[in-house]
Amino acid sequence: MSASFSRTDRKLRVALFSGNYNYVMDGPVRALNSLVAYLEREGHEALVFAPTNDTPAFKHSGTLISVPSFALPGKRSEYRFGLGLHGKCKRALDSFRPDIVHIAAPDYTGFGALNYARKFGVPAVASFHTRFDTYPRYYNLGWLEKYLTRYMRYFYSRCEHVYAPSHSMVDELERDGIGEDIRLWTRGVDGDLFNPARRDMAWREANGFRTDDVVAAFVGRLVLEKGIDIFVDAFQQARASTPNLKALIVGDGPERENFSQLLPDGVFTGYLQGEELARAYASADIFFNPSITETFGNVTLEAMASGLPSIGAAAAGSRSLIEDGVTGYLAESNAAGFADKLAQLAGDKALRQHYGRAAREKSGRFSWDAVLAELVGHYYEALDQFQPSRRHARPAAASRRHAA
């Protein structure tokens, strides 16, 4: 690519493709909305393509083109399967004339976006948010995992860059041969919103917690792949030796009823956001995230900013944030290992406070503007290094000129 794409020369037009952008709030969605808001603040243009539903979970950033879709069957009906780039979606993309295509999910629509980019000589980059290939093991479809991993190798090998959210995930993708030029796109946290000062003892009392209770919090989608079965087993084992250990579950999802039946004494708040979410974090005492499917762990970072010691699986997402024996504990992904760490923290208030202060201090290294500026730098490098083997004529702009 010519030097005309120098980062001091002109702004970019970024086409972003995602399987979810505004209908379910989760860590990847929060990151993508932060990215689009940042791009627009910096004078770049962004156009987002994603499935939508009739009741968005929140007000999204930027311009969103709705991709035709249908709800997934079964318990995961809150998520939608996009039907690709056709009709108005294709026309909108042609008119936008992107400089770069950013794909956030290797689904059918993402595959279409990748083919579009290759056809018209536009670099495609991808951000890696979830080990989708591990999901089948939670739904008695383990035989499918190797085929999904094989597809992901093929998909990401066709992208100029693959952006992983943590050093440990970069290592994991390199080990599994997923992507060729794998780079770091970490995440940020709002340290003013997520802050230990938001601890609210009246809120704790209103939710049935006593002053001497030790509250272990889980925050996230209530789905099997988040490890909720291990959370229950570990919590119950730890509680046998620390009866004042209590569970706080923040979030919603298809497994909520099952989760609440397994933890009848737990406090289930449902989905929270903004200051309500920040208050819930700060009013807990321990953060426990047993998931092994996280690629980063936004919730862990929010808990750290809130001054909580964390317990997580010794897997890619948690390893990138939790310093074992410094800000919390890492454990093997089994109930006994987690239970031991829960009991240790539950029984030692001074240790919880020490780890919590260290966690808050570490969270200060994660600034959204800094990490997003670095990502845009990667965009420019992708443009500079891009050498399509075959370039087709790009679609004519309908009513706009290719700005210089």
Residue-wise pLDDT for 38-83, tens only, equals: 999 999 999 999 999 999 999 999 999 999 999 988 767 788 999 9
**Position 392 in a domain:** no
Q: Is residue 349 in a domain?
A: yes
- Domain annotation covers residue 404: no
Share of the chain above pLDDT 90, in %: 72
User: pLDDT averaged over the chain?
Assistant: 90
pTM over 0.85: no
- Structural domain span for residue 358: 196-363
Residues 230 and 242 occupy one common structural domain = yes
Q: Are residues 153 and 206 in the same domain?
A: no
Q: Are residues 358 and 378 in the same domain?
A: no
400 within a domain of the structure (yes/no): no
Q: Report yes or no on 119 lying in a domain.
A: yes
Does 106 share its domain with 141? Answer: yes
Average pLDDT over residues 140-147: 81
**What is the edge-to-edge ordering of all strands in the sheet holding 161-164?**
63-66, 45-50, 13-17, 100-103, 124-127, 161-164, 182-184
Spatial contact of 157 and 179, defined as CB atoms under 8 Å apart: yes
Instruction: Return the pLDDT at 156.
Output: 95
Neighbours of 334 (CB within 10 A): 13
Query: What is the rounded distance in angstroms from the CA atom of residue 176 to the CA atom of residue 210?
Result: 47
Q: Give the pLDDT band of residue 329 (cuts 50, 70, 90).
A: very high
Q: Are 197 and 226 in contact (CB under 8 A)?
A: no
Domain identity same for 372 and 268: no
For residues 145 and 229, membership in a common domain is answered with: no
Is residue 202 domain-shared with residue 138, that is, in the same domain?
Answer: no
pLDDT score of 388 more than 80: no
339 within some domain = yes
Residues 203 and 79 in one domain: no
Verify that 340 and 204 share a domain, yes or no. yes
Q: Are 384 and 5 in contact (CB under 8 A)?
A: yes
Say whether both 208 and 159 belong to one domain: no
pLDDT at 247: 98
Q: Is residue 375 part of a domain?
A: yes
The count of domains in the chain is: 2
What is the band of 181 on the pLDDT scale with cuts at 50, 70, 90?
Answer: very high
State yes or no: pLDDT of 390 exceeds 70: no
The answer to whether 159 and 101 have CB atoms below 8 angstroms apart is no
Mean pLDDT of 12-30: 93
CATH number for the domain spanning 77: value is: 3.40.50.2000
* 240 and 181 in a common domain: no
Would residue 68 count as lying in a domain? yes
CA-wise closest residue to 149 among 137, 129, 126, 131:
131
Q: Which residues contact 33 (CB under 8 A, 6 or more apart)?
A: 21, 22, 60, 61, 62
Examine the domain organization and report whether 90 and 109 are in the same domain.
yes
Residue 342: CB atoms within 10 A of its CB come to 27
The contacts of residue 156 (CB under 8 Å, 6+ apart) are 106, 126, 128, 162, 173, 178, 179, 180
